[in-house]
Amino acid sequence: MTAAAATDPYAPQSGDGSYDVEAYDLDLTYRVRTNRLSGVAVIDAVAREDISAVHVDLVGLRVERVEVDGARVRTTRQGPRRLRIGLPSEVVAGDRFRLRIAYAGAPAPRRSRWGAIGWEELTDGALVAGQPTGAPTWFPCNDRPDARAPMRLTVSTDADYAVVATGVTAPPVRSGALRTWTFTSSVPVATYLAAVHIGHYVDQLLAGLVPVRVAFPVEHRAAVQRAFAPVPAMLDLFGDLFGPYPQETCALVVTGDELEIPLEAQGLAVFGVNHLVPDEQRLIAHELAHQWFGNSVGIAAWRDIWLNEGFACYAEWLWSERAGGPTAAQCAAEHHARLAALPHDLLLRDPGPDLMFDDRVYKRGALALHALRSTMGDAPFFDLVRAWTQRHRHALVSTDDFRELVVERAGEPAASVLSAWIDRMPLPPLSPG
């Protein structure tokens, strides 16, 4: 199999394995009222094999001009999702090249087996929900989970709107009817974790060891203040248990619309106005935990999604325990009973694309971690978690990497406990042994 064929089997029509991206530089202009997006994407890349053409993912937007190392080149559409770019001359493995792609159109979510994903218009603004293959609805990219790269993102939009996006922000600059916002991520970003949120937002800073920017419609200020008051304490707890906060920023966005679910991105997360209620506090903990698990320690393949969602779900239980709610053990017992009543046809370490976001992946992943904690004891278990986040900070991992760390830190008996949860379909008993 060539590198070009080595795309992720859960999303085989996305990405090109023949090259890696070393940096993205995106310059976007978006007009809210007409839903008009125009952009220029500069992609610095390196070939993984000898190539005469490359593919980028781009959905629903029109390509206006493409250059490779300054030379204009011809392109062809290969279906509605991919653009083939012929290179002026063959590029050999290890050589670097630069793509410059100008494009425009009316961005919209793409239909997928996981629902509608990508750029989405709101009642008053826009958001991006990129996981897992929604990034090409707003920028051309090599849309693979293992193709992470630093990113610079410039967004110009109507001057009365605010922008929150992936990266460290600079003060906006006004020019006529537009304001321009610039965001820079020096850490590697997966395409599905890049995001832009645009709305009539005001800001509030939550003070703490990790400063948190919260953006929201002003009419929801009181509800936002109540809902996000625990955030500094959550971050303190997770810093103690998981290690230092790994991102350059921490931003939370609340839209004026209701959203089905909140969603994490690199250094930020978005919530709907319907999530500003006490019963949804666990979701805030969940999205914050993703800054460690998924956004820093990242999966190289979608089959290992439990490493993102299992840890984030377990973080909900850890926060519940700290906040005086049900303990992690009580949460585990409750969800074990629920899983026991459901079909046992899911293999956690490889659930398949149709089940990768099944709630059983989240809960069974959390139960696997709780079983490890029960086996190892609190201090060794959280030492293992901190070793995991430190060793693989802003790096790619697999289930086998986690299994090897468990063996290293706790030996084969603990690895056998883990294996019962991730390698076999039958639901193990709640208590190991």
Q: Is the pLDDT of residue 328 over 90?
A: yes
pLDDT computed for residue 243 by the predictor: 98
pLDDT computed for residue 320 by the predictor: 97
Residues in the chain, total? 433
pLDDT tens-digit series, residues 231-253:
999 999 999 999 999 999 999 99
177, 34: one domain: yes
335 within some domain:
yes
Mean pLDDT, range 318-340, rounded to an integer: 97
CA separation for the pair 108, 243 (Å, rounded)? 38
Confirm if 13 and 134 have CB atoms less than 8 A apart.
no
pLDDT computed for residue 431 by the predictor: 72
State the pLDDT confidence band at 79, using cuts at 50, 70 and 90.
Answer: confident
DSSP E strand stretches across 13-72: 19-31, 36-47, 51-57, 62-68, 71-72
pLDDT computed for residue 5 by the predictor: 45
Q: Is the pLDDT of residue 10 over 80?
A: yes
Q: Is the pLDDT of residue 70 over 60?
A: yes
DSSP E strand stretches across 190-300: 196-199, 202-206, 212-216, 251-254, 263-265, 268-271, 297-299
Residue that finishes a domain, picked among 190, 209, 227: 190
Assign residue 390 the CATH number of its domain: 1.10.390.10
94 within some domain:
yes
Assign residue 59 the CATH number of its domain: 2.60.40.1730
CA separation for the pair 394, 189 (Å, rounded)? 9
Confirm if 13 and 29 have CB atoms less than 8 A apart.
no
Q: Is the pLDDT of residue 6 over 70?
A: no
pLDDT tens-digit series, residues 112-168:
999 999 999 999 999 999 999 999 999 999 999 999 999 999 999 999 999 999 999
Confirm if 299 and 308 have CB atoms less than 8 A apart.
yes
CA separation for the pair 418, 174 (Å, rounded)? 54
Give the residue with greater pLDDT, 21 vs 279. Answer: 21
What single-letter DSSP state applies at residue 279? Answer: G
203 within some domain:
no
How wide is the angle at C-alpha 327 spanned by C-alphas 324 and 330, nearest 5°? 140
Domain count, the chain: 2
88 within some domain:
yes
Mean pLDDT, range 241-268, rounded to an integer: 97
185, 311: one domain: no
Of 5-14, 29-38, 238-247, where does mean pLDDT reach its minimum?
5-14
State the pLDDT confidence band at 4, using cuts at 50, 70 and 90.
Answer: very low
- Tokens 């959280």 belong to which residue? 382
33, 179: one domain: yes
Mean pLDDT, range 187-212, rounded to an integer: 96
pLDDT tens-digit series, residues 388-424:
999 999 999 999 999 999 999 999 999 999 999 999 9
217 within some domain:
no
Tell which residue, 402, 196, 407, has the closest CA to residue 293: 402
Torsion, CA 337, CA 342, CA 345, CA 347, rounded to 10? -40
Sign of CA dihedral 10, 15, 16, 17: negative
- pLDDT averaged over every residue in the chain: 96
185, 326: one domain: no
Q: Is the pLDDT of residue 2 over 50?
A: no
pLDDT computed for residue 7 by the predictor: 84
List residues bridging with 205 in a β-sheet.
213
Give the domain range for residue 157. Answer: 1-109+133-190
Q: Is the pLDDT of residue 371 over 90?
A: yes
pLDDT computed for residue 80 by the predictor: 85
With a pLDDT cut of 70, the percent of the chain lying above it is 98
198 within some domain:
no
122 within some domain:
no
Mean pLDDT, range 64-90, rounded to an integer: 94
State the pLDDT confidence band at 3, using cuts at 50, 70 and 90.
Answer: very low
Q: Is the peptide bond before 188 cis (omega within 30 degrees of 0)?
A: no
With a pLDDT cut of 90, the percent of the chain lying above it is 95
Residue that finishes a domain, picked among 141, 165, 190: 190
